[in-house]
Structure 1
Amino acid sequence: MDVLSDVVAVTRTGRPRSARVRWHAPWGQEFASVPGSAGFQVILRGSCWLLPPDAEPVPLLAGDVVFLPHGSGHTLADSPDRLVTAPACGPDDHGPYDAYASDDVDRSGDGGPVTVVLCGAYRLDPSRAHPLLLTLPDMVHLPAHPHRHPELRSAVELLASELDNPRPGTDALVPGLLDILLLYILRIWFDEQPARGNTTGWAAALNDPPVAAALHAIHRDPAAPWTVAGLAEEAGLSRAPFAKRFAALVGQPPLGYLTWWRMTTAARLLRTSDAPLRSIATQVGYTSEFAFAHAFKRAHGTAPGTYRRSVRPAAAAPAPEPQMLL
């Protein structure tokens, strides 16, 4: 798997949630800060304003996409000076709809102009947040443009259609479409960074062919007996220049990132599978179960078996659904 695909697969937990909401002016809705979550807002019809707590209001038009990778608090409103008095929505609120409501959620004002928003949330694993996500700003705004991001617009249209008209298979389609939406948002943002002069960090790493080749090799086969020389060969560079280049862009040495990714992958396998510890050790590059357990405890502060029991205390019981931000 490539880096972006792995980041979504490993860091997202539970089922993402989404719904269409229709507001009639005047209106305003505050969204609480939710650490450990990422939210999105897609303007499907009309226009509104995004009101960040510590920044200038941002006008949003139909087709605009806003991604909040760190669960930052914000407000949507029909006017930049709208005073919002209603309680902020949070993850513990049981909104008046489920994840795949067959009708729009209608938040009526006084019958003024209508704004329709596709809003949603992803639960992330705060204990193993990928550094790629940590480098994102508090808000990623992708303005609508008739000749840009056609794949993102298609994903939004498909998702909105499933929410509007649920049919057999919708329960399986919607989470997949939400993951697709997230991947398109991340892909577009990272692709656009070199044009904006951002030449450091993960944006530069993913757009740097040698470093990207090494990252993809690690993610494609984390169990391989990688060495710095072997990864440098994948990158097409000699050992020393590669190691320096990788550390400068990724933020840690090649083998340091390899170990971090192996332990992150192991934690996911312990959470989501019943595979024995020996099998998991092999999948992340350890021939000895003892060596794997030692490395895992050093990374996570607990033994693999104890970790598995703590994150899956009742394996037979279904995990509770995360609540929407609205």
Structure 2
Amino acid sequence: MDVLTDLLHRARASTALVRQLIQRPPWSVTYADAPALTVVAVLDGHASIRLEDSETAPVRLAAGDSALVAGTGQYTIADDPGTPRHVTIRGGRKYLPDGKPTEGHGNLAPRTYGDGLPGATIMLRAAYELHGDVSDRLLALLPPLAVVPAGPRTGAALDLLATEVSRDEPGQDAVLNRLLDLVLVLALRAWCAESATLPAWYRALGDPAVGEALRLLHTDPAHRWTVAELAAKAGSSRAAFAARFTALVGEPPLTYLTAWRMTLAADLLRDTEKTVAAVAAEVGYTDAFAFSVAFKRARGASPSIWRRQAR
């Protein structure tokens, strides 16, 4: 399993709330309680998006452009950065600028809201609730606001998603979730291909030997890996492999493996009822005491105490 696929799978970025918005100018929608990751795509017309309480400048989205909003801060989508706030979405309800709730959702079709055509901007917004400590590594790929310009690959996926979003047929949620997975992965790959500020481990994926080693560590993190075995599978000498891995990733292979195991263990402790010994075995420790020592060193608390605090 490649590393990005592993992160997406473990972060459970597989179910999202998707809505189509059709808005005629002037318009402005503020999302007060954003999820960990939001994808906004403009299908027709244009929009601007800005992060509230942030030094990030507003960005303009043209037809076919997508934006990835990482983090749980408040943000606003509007026809123009200067348009005053019209409505705020908080807790699934719509509020006017004076703070009063309104029930006028403008439901135009299944999953479709706004004031209709003509002359409107048509957008898709998908809100992902990512999960656990693994999601931190996924979000580390992104700045608070990343724009992916229109392109043939993302465009084809968005066209198909736009065709399906307003339908209400058996299995429609499954169709939309899989299409959204496609849109998200294509957008992430497009952003990462152009970004100069990616984490070291992601940049290292392009190296034949180190990339293969990272794939192996993510495919089977519980295996009792040694540097010599990783080097052999990557087709390199032990010394050369260890030096290159450390130079590209920023830490030695087994240090990276330990940190990844602790990330997986943290999610298992938070989300399952497995014993500490069972969690230890699942992430590659035959000795629960050794696991507890490693976990406390990484997280500042024993597995049992950390589990209680995390819950």
Deviates more, 1:221-230 or 1:71-80: 71-80
Q: Please give the alpha-carbon distance, in whole angstroms, between the structure 2 residues aligned to 1:153 and 1:73.
A: 27
Q: State the SS of the aligned residue for 2:71.
A: coil
Could you say which residue in structure 2 is the equivalent of 1:221?
220
- The letter of the residue matching 1:134 is A
Q: Is the 8 A contact 1:297 1:304 kept in 2?
A: yes
Over residues 200-259 of structure 1, what are the superposed CA-to-partner deviations in whole Å (9 max), with x where a residue is unaligned?
724421222222111101001111111222222333333333333323332332212101
Could you say which residue in structure 2 is the equivalent of 1:102?
110
Q: 1:201 to 1:25 in 2, by over 3 A?
A: same
Q: Please give the alpha-carbon distance, in whole angstroms, between the structure 2 residues aligned to 1:103 and 1:133.
A: 27
Match among 106, 125, 129 for residue 119 of structure 1: 125
> Where in structure 2 are the equivalents of 1:211-290 lying within 5 Å?
211-290=210-289
Alpha-carbon RMSD across the aligned residues, in angstroms, is 3.3
Q: Please give the alpha-carbon distance, in whole angstroms, between the structure 1 residues aligned to 2:118 and 2:144.
A: 31
Could you say which residue in structure 2 is the equivalent of 1:169?
171
Could you say which residue in structure 1 is the equivalent of 2:8?
8
Q: 1:58 to 1:211 in 2, by over 3 A?
A: same
Q: Please give the alpha-carbon distance, in whole angstroms, between the structure 2 residues aligned to 1:224 and 1:167.
A: 44
- The letter of the residue matching 2:170 is P
Q: Please give the alpha-carbon distance, in whole angstroms, between the structure 2 residues aligned to 1:39 and 1:143.
A: 16
Q: State the SS of the aligned residue for 1:260.
A: helix
1:64 aligns to 2:65 (yes or no): yes
Q: Is the 8 A contact 1:13 1:123 kept in 2?
A: yes
1:181 aligns to 2:183 (yes or no): yes
Q: Please give the alpha-carbon distance, in whole angstroms, between the structure 2 residues aligned to 1:107 and 1:54.
A: 31
- The letter of the residue matching 1:189 is W
Q: State the SS of the aligned residue for 1:113.
A: coil
Q: Please give the alpha-carbon distance, in whole angstroms, between the structure 2 residues aligned to 1:13 and 1:249.
A: 27
Q: Is the 8 A contact 1:224 1:285 kept in 2?
A: yes
Question: What's the CA shift for 1:43?
Answer: 0.7
Of all paired residues, the percent bearing the same amino acid is 38
Over residues 15-45 of structure 1, what are the superposed CA-to-partner deviations in whole Å (9 max), with x where a residue is unaligned?
43221111111112234475x7111101122
Question: What's the CA shift for 1:55?
Answer: 4.7
Question: What's the CA shift for 1:116?
Answer: 1.4
Q: State the SS of the aligned residue for 1:124.
A: coil
Q: Is the 8 A contact 1:31 1:73 kept in 2?
A: yes
Deviates more, 1:201-210 or 1:13-22: 13-22
Match among 130, 133, 138 for residue 139 of structure 2: 133
**How many residues were matched structurally?**
297
Question: What's the CA shift for 1:76?
Answer: 2.2
Could you say which residue in structure 2 is the equivalent of 1:78?
79
Q: Please give the alpha-carbon distance, in whole angstroms, between the structure 2 residues aligned to 1:33 and 1:94.
A: 11
Q: Please give the alpha-carbon distance, in whole angstroms, between the structure 2 residues aligned to 1:136 and 1:219.
A: 20
TM-score under structure 1 normalisation?
0.76
Q: Please give the alpha-carbon distance, in whole angstroms, between the structure 1 residues aligned to 2:136 and 2:256.
A: 11
Q: Please give the alpha-carbon distance, in whole angstroms, between the structure 2 residues aligned to 1:243 and 1:169.
A: 48
Over residues 130-180 of structure 1, what are the superposed CA-to-partner deviations in whole Å (9 max), with x where a residue is unaligned?
4453242232211113xx32xx33443444344311222233443444333
Q: Please give the alpha-carbon distance, in whole angstroms, between the structure 1 residues aligned to 2:175 and 2:309.
A: 30
Q: 1:246 to 1:31 in 2, by over 3 A?
A: farther
Over residues 36-79 of structure 1, what are the superposed CA-to-partner deviations in whole Å (9 max), with x where a residue is unaligned?
71111011222222345535543322221111223454432223
Q: Please give the alpha-carbon distance, in whole angstroms, between the structure 1 residues aligned to 2:179 and 2:121.
A: 23
Q: Please give the alpha-carbon distance, in whole angstroms, between the structure 1 residues aligned to 2:58 and 2:273.
A: 48
Q: Please give the alpha-carbon distance, in whole angstroms, between the structure 2 residues aligned to 1:199 and 1:291.
A: 33
Q: 1:87 to 1:25 in 2, by over 3 A?
A: closer
Q: 1:281 to 1:33 in 2, by over 3 A?
A: same
| Bigger relative contact order, structure 1 or 2 (CA pairs below 8 A, ≥6 apart) | 1
TM-score under structure 2 normalisation?
0.79
Q: Please give the alpha-carbon distance, in whole angstroms, between the structure 1 residues aligned to 2:203 and 2:12.
A: 23
Q: Is the 8 A contact 1:7 1:130 kept in 2?
A: no
Q: Is the 8 A contact 1:25 1:114 kept in 2?
A: yes
